[in-house]
Every structure is written in C-alpha cells, then in structure tokens.
Structure 1
Amino acid sequence: MTALNAMQRHQRILEVLEADGKVSVMHLSDSLRVSVVTIRNDLEQLERQQVLRRIRGGALAVRAARFERPLHLASQAFTEEKERIAKLAATLVRDGETIMIDAGSTALAFARALSRSLNDVAVVTNALDVALVLAEHPGIRVVVTGGTLRGMQRSLTAPFSTLVIGQLNADTAYVSCTGIDLDKGFTTGSWEEAEVEKAMIAAASRCVILADHSKFGHVGSARVAELSMVDLLVTDSDVAPETVASFEAKGLQVLAA
C-alpha cells in the first residue's frame, strides 16, 4: 500500500466514521499504516473542523446528515461514489435544456461531469464553485442566483436566491441532500440550503436527487422534499438491494451507478 498523504488519510477516516459511527486509533494506525502519533494528530485536526469528536482511544462521528459539513471536507468523502453518480446523472442532460444545480460536493462533481459536447444549456446555480467549473464551458450559459454568501459551502442563499429562482422555469432541478429516509424524505443539515433547494424543485418540471449510499437512514435538521416530489434518485451501487426496493415500493425511481 502506497503511503497516504494527510488529505487522503482524512478522507479515509471520514469514510470509516460515516459508515461505522466510531473508530479506534489503533484500527486507523493499522489500516492506514502510519504511527499512532500521526493518527492522533489527524483526529485533532478533524476535530478542530468539527467533523468528529475525539474520545479515549478513538473518535466518534458528528453526523453530517443533521449538522452541516464544510464543502472541502465533504468533497473528501466517498469521492469515487460521487464521481460515478455524477457521470450517470450527466447523461440525463440534453441540449437546449435549462437545469438547476444546488450547492454541495455531489453537485460539484455533477457539474464537472457535464459533457463538453452539450450545446445551448442554461445552468442556474447558487453554488460559486459550480459556476466557476462551468464558466469556460462552450455550450453552457451560467446564471448565478445571487444572495447571501455562506462561506462553509461557498453558496448563495435567501432571500435573493429564492426570489430569483422563483421567477424562472427549468426542465430539471439536480439537488443533493445529506439524509434519505422512507418517512422523512430528503433532508439536509442547513435550513438556508433547504430553502434554496425547495425553490429549485418548485421551479423545475422534474427533480433528480443526487446522493451516495451513506445518506440512507439519516435525517437532517431541514426537510428538502417528500419522496413523492422527486422523480428520480441517482445513487451508487453500494446501497443494499432491499433498501432500493423499499424506496421503489414507495414509487421512487432509483438509478444506481
């Protein structure tokens, strides 16, 4: 195994915590093949960023579903799964469409995956990173909503963002989330982002949710949409078949990348 740098170690640590909820220093030291001292330093850094809580001999997850994770840290978790989701979802976009893209690491991966051959596509977004990724795309016109800047996500929120979105009509809203639950639907950890996402869904003829397998079974503090409001969920193939079946039984179409 090639030695991992600090960013790669942090990504692995976050992935373990996302899956298991807690982890020991010794387990991380063995699996990542670095010293206990190095792991403790990694955990200290991540705790300062409020994405985990250190305990004796290890760490506990601070659930991203209920509490928001900074964009740069969210981008380090489940990167391969998000790229697969993004590539599959990108095949749904057609020439001449107007689409909306929210803020978040999966939404950013989706923007990066959009084909360079697309033509006459308008993208409405509240995410500065999405806008910058698409700024040089020859066939895409980018509309940035405006609004109050949120540094954690580098996104723009209400009131101006929702006012602008409310004046537009789109073919499809591509929206991410941090929690997926059969009863609570799709949720996120920020009510500001939830208001923007609700506005995008209301302004679009179709809604596509982009979310990796770690979001299932979690409920965030702010509701984005009920299951019945979503036309398609694009996720990754690590979701258990019985979980997919339970959502399909509720009438939700699910595509796994």
Structure 2
Amino acid sequence: MLVAERQQRLLEMVNQRKSVRVTELAKHFSVTDETIRRDLEKLEKEKKLARSHGGAVSITPAHQEPEPPVQEREVMYVEEKKEIAQEAVKHIVVADKILLDASTTAWYVAKNLPNHSITVLTNSLNVELELSRKDKVTVISTGGTLLGRSLSYVGPLTERALDLFHVNKAFLSCKGLHMERGISESNEQQARVKQKMMEIADMTYLLTDHHKFHQQAFAYVAPLENIDRVITDRQAAAIDMEHLQEKGVEVIKAMQ
C-alpha cells in the first residue's frame, strides 16, 4: 500500500470513529507503531486531525466529512479503478449521450474513452481537460461552484444545469456502498448533485471498487434499488455481488 493511500485510509478511520488508538491503527495496516505516529504527525501538521495521548481524534465538523484532494484520490486503488474504467467503456457506443461525475474512476473512464462521436456531460474539470484532447467527443460542462479539493462543480447552478439535459447512461461513483443503507457521499453538496444526475439518466452505472462496500458516508444519496448496474473490480466478494443482485441490481465484475 502506498504511503498516501495508507494515510488517507487512516484519516477516514479516525473521522468515522472520532478517535482511534495507535496500536489499533498499526495492527489494522500491518505496520509499526512508529510508522503510524509519523503518519499522524504529518496529518496533524496538515490540520486534518489532532493527535491525542496514544492515538488521534477527528477534528471534522459534524455536518460533513472532508473530501480527499483529487491528487490523493488519483493514486488510491489505481489498478481497481483502471479495471472498472476499462469495463465501463465497453458499455459506451457511438452516438451515446453519457454523464461522467467528478470521481477519479470517471476520470479513468474519460482516459479510456475512444475518440468517437459521443456526447459527455460532466461536472468534473479533470474530465473536461482529459476529453479536450479528443476532437470527436462533444463535452458539455455543468458549470457551478468549483470545489478545489475535488475539481468538481456543485451547488444550485450545477443542479439547475443538469435539469436542462437528458442522458441515456450515467457513470457515477460514491463514497460508500452499504447493503442496507444505500449509497452515500462525503457531504450534502455532492449528494444532491449525484441525486440529480440519476434523475436525468435512463440507466445509472455505479462504478465502485470493493473497498467501498459496507461503507456509509455522511450524506445519503439513494437506495441501491435506484442503481441499474454496478461495475466493480475483480476482488469483489461473491457474497456482496449476490446481495446486490437480490436488490435487483445487475453486477458486472471487471476482467482483464
């Protein structure tokens, strides 16, 4: 596991549990206590958490979770995201009108998208820049308030812009996928945008690696029944795929 990936997952654990001890973190990540202390020291300097005697405590306000910077998310679970993106592209054909959200997995979809006559609606600055190199792809930006950490457009302007369009396929990701509590996002702004995206799409694909299964973030997005297809990576457990299928969701495991 990369250092940046470990530190991001460590921060997520602290924010979810509000406080965690060094020994517990060391055991979870199979590293030494000293390695965890160095991670905590770095994260405290970045004002992402506070160290306590024997551990760390969350400093996240109760109303939302922080979005990891897009630069950090780009290096997390890279192989899984590439697998999922390559599978997702197989479901896109010439003349499709699709939506790509601001997730890093959607950015990998944009990187793999062939230079064909396709229309892409997106709230992602990264996706826009990636597709600007493909002259046959028509790119439409939602606009809105740009969040620097995620390079995504959110807010009322984004939501109103989405009301103007209709797409046949939406490719979205999420912060958490819980078998009983549905899909969730880190904050209310992202959740509202995802809800609107699902409303304007004939078919919604959820692109999520197996690490997000059984996770619940702060802001509720939708029940699993609102998802048509889930595309996940090869490491997804068979029991999880069965649970999704019982909810009426088609599950596609990416293969190479």
Instruction: Give the TM-score of the pair, scaled to structure 1.
Output: 0.81
Partner of 2:4: 10
Q: Are 2:107 and 1:113 aligned?
A: no
Q: Are 2:153 and 1:159 aligned?
A: no
Q: Are 2:67 and 1:69 aligned?
A: yes
Q: How far apart in 2 are the matches of 1:243 and 1:62?
A: 32
Residue 183 of structure 2, aligned match among 181, 186, 203 = 186
Map 1:160-239 to 2 at 5 A.
160-239=157-236
Q: How far apart in 2 are the matches of 1:52 and 1:85?
A: 32
Query: Structure 2 regions of 5+ residues with no counterpart?
Result: none
Q: How far apart in 2 are the matches of 1:219 and 1:78?
A: 18
State how many pairs are aligned: 244
Secondary structure at the counterpart of residue 195 of structure 1: helix
Partner of 1:146: 143
Map 1:52-91 to 2 at 5 A.
54=51, 67-70=65-68, 71-91=70-90
- Residues 182 and 247 in structure 1, CA contact (< 8 A), matched pair in contact too: yes
- Residues 209 and 234 in structure 1, CA contact (< 8 A), matched pair in contact too: yes
Q: 1:237 Cα shift?
A: 2.0
1:139-184 per-residue CA deviation (whole Å, 9 max, x = no partner) reads 2111111111111211111211111111111111111101111222
Q: 1:217 to 1:62 in 2, by over 3 A?
A: farther
Q: How far apart in 2 are the matches of 1:99 and 1:126?
A: 12
Alignment identity in percent? 30
Q: 1:67 to 1:141 in 2, by over 3 A?
A: same
Instruction: Give the TM-score of the pair, scaled to structure 2.
Output: 0.82
Secondary structure at the counterpart of residue 242 of structure 2: helix
1:7-37 per-residue CA deviation (whole Å, 9 max, x = no partner) reads x4222444577799976586799859xx94x
Residue 242 of structure 1, aligned match among 236, 239, 244 = 239
Q: How far apart in 2 are the matches of 1:243 and 1:60?
A: 31
Partner of 1:92: 91
Whichever residue aligns with residue 213 of structure 2, its letter is F
Whichever residue aligns with residue 65 of structure 2, its letter is F
Q: How far apart in 2 are the matches of 1:10 and 1:246?
A: 32
- Residues 176 and 212 in structure 2, CA contact (< 8 A), matched pair in contact too: yes
Secondary structure at the counterpart of residue 172 of structure 2: strand
Secondary structure at the counterpart of residue 141 of structure 1: strand
- Residues 123 and 141 in structure 1, CA contact (< 8 A), matched pair in contact too: yes
- Residues 6 and 29 in structure 2, CA contact (< 8 A), matched pair in contact too: no
Q: Are 2:134 and 1:137 aligned?
A: yes
1:63-86 per-residue CA deviation (whole Å, 9 max, x = no partner) reads 9xx724322222222111111111
Whichever residue aligns with residue 129 of structure 1, its letter is N
Partner of 2:124: 127
Q: 1:39 Cα shift?
A: 5.8
Bigger mean CA offset, 240-249 vs 8-17? 8-17
Q: How far apart in 2 are the matches of 1:78 and 1:44?
A: 24
- Residues 102 and 176 in structure 1, CA contact (< 8 A), matched pair in contact too: yes
Q: 1:232 to 1:53 in 2, by over 3 A?
A: farther
